[in-house]
């Protein structure tokens, strides 16, 4: 299994190549649902990338065993990079959207005057939304973060997961992994948790809560293998695989 996130410039043999160009260049794009998708949202400190990678490998192997040529992808930062590519901008120019920020009026004026590649805040946000929506519609993809749960209605054959843990558990891990004091770690956790919820709320158009998700895992009490096996079991029972 090859992840786009690790090789974004490689020739595309995945959902981006097949559907993304249609979304951008056709007046009435016809995106065909080809499979289920999974979203994994997480509170800061509840790592998800390893789970996504292992899960994609297992799901791809299951397809192979059934004689199906379907490769599951897992996406995180690649969504930002593809959105930037569509807008002909650097990823750094649009990353603010994922941090619960908007351009000020002065930012808009300065940007418009300083570059011929100016894109409005609305254009940037709408493009990001359409990129993620198109990927969710294709299926056979695991979207980590990036507000992926907000597109559940675009592909009902989906499963939406939230990873969380007690604040004390997360503070300890952020302190160790990022070499921060506990007060600084707590401050960072609260800020990033707010950003992530704001992103989902802004995509959904209302204030959400954990009932948006199909299942919530406590990372303090469940390891990677327990979470992955539970997800596989639920997907089987929901006839998603």
Q: Where are the domains of the chain?
A: 16-237
Contact between 38 and 159 (Cβ < 8 Å): yes
209, with CB counted inside 10 A (0-12, 13-18, 19+), is exposed
Task: Inform me whether the pLDDT recorded for 201 exceeds 70.
Answer: yes
**Among candidate residues 220, 226, 237, the one with its CA nearest the CA of residue 55:** 226
Longest dimension (CA), the chain: 56
Give CA 224 to chain center in angstroms.
Answer: 19
For the stretch 101-119, pLDDT in tens is 444 433 433 343 344 444 5
Homologous superfamily of domain range 16-237: P-loop containing nucleotide triphosphate hydrolases (3.40.50.300)
Task: Inform me whether the pLDDT recorded for 37 exceeds 60.
Answer: yes
SS3 216: strand
Task: Inform me whether the pLDDT recorded for 161 exceeds 80.
Answer: yes
- The pTM assigned to this predicted structure is 0.76
Average pLDDT of every residue of the chain: 80
Q: For residues 150 and 164, what is the distance between their CA atoms, to the nearest angstrom?
A: 18
HSE at residue 132, side-chain half, CA atoms within 13 A, is 29
Q: What are the phi and psi torsion angles at 164 (to 5°)? A: -140, 180
DSSP result, 20-34: IHHHHH-SS--PPP-
118, with CB counted inside 10 A (0-12, 13-18, 19+), is middle
For the stretch 63-90, pLDDT in tens is 999 988 889 999 887 766 777 777 767 6
Tokens 């954990």 appear where?
210
Task: Inform me whether the pLDDT recorded for 208 exceeds 70.
Answer: yes
Task: Inform me whether the pLDDT recorded for 12 exceeds 50.
Answer: no
């Amino acid at each position: 299994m090859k992840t786009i996130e690790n090789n974004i410039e490689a020739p595309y043999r995945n959902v981006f190549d097949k559907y993304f160009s249609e979304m951008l260049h056709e007046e009435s794009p016809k995106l065909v649902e080809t499979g289920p998708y999974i979203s994994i949202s997480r509170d800061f400190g509840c790592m998800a990338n390893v789970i996504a990678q292992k899960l994609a490998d297992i799901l791809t192997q299951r397809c192979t065993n059934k004689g199906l040529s379907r490769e599951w992808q897992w996406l995180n930062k690649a969504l930002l990079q593809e959105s930037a590519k569509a807008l002909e901008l650097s990823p750094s120019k649009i990353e603010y959207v994922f941090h619960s920020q908007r351009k000020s009026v002065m930012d808009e004026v300065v940007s418009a005057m300083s570059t011929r590649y100016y894109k409005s805040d609305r254009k940037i946000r709408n493009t990001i939304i359409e990129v993620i929506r198109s990927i969710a519609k294709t299926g056979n993809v695991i979207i980590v973060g990036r507000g992926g749960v907000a597109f559940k209605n675009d592909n009902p054959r989906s499963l939406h997961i939230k990873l969380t843990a007690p604040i004390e558990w997360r503070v300890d891990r952020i302190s160790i992994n990022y070499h921060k004091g506990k007060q600084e770690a707590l401050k960072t956790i609260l800020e990033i948790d707010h950003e992530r919820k704001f992103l989902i709320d802004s995509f959904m158009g209302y204030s959400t809560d954990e009932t948006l998700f199909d299942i919530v895992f406590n990372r303090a009490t469940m390891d990677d293998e327990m979470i992955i096996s539970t997800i596989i079991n639920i997907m089987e029972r929901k006839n998603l695989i």
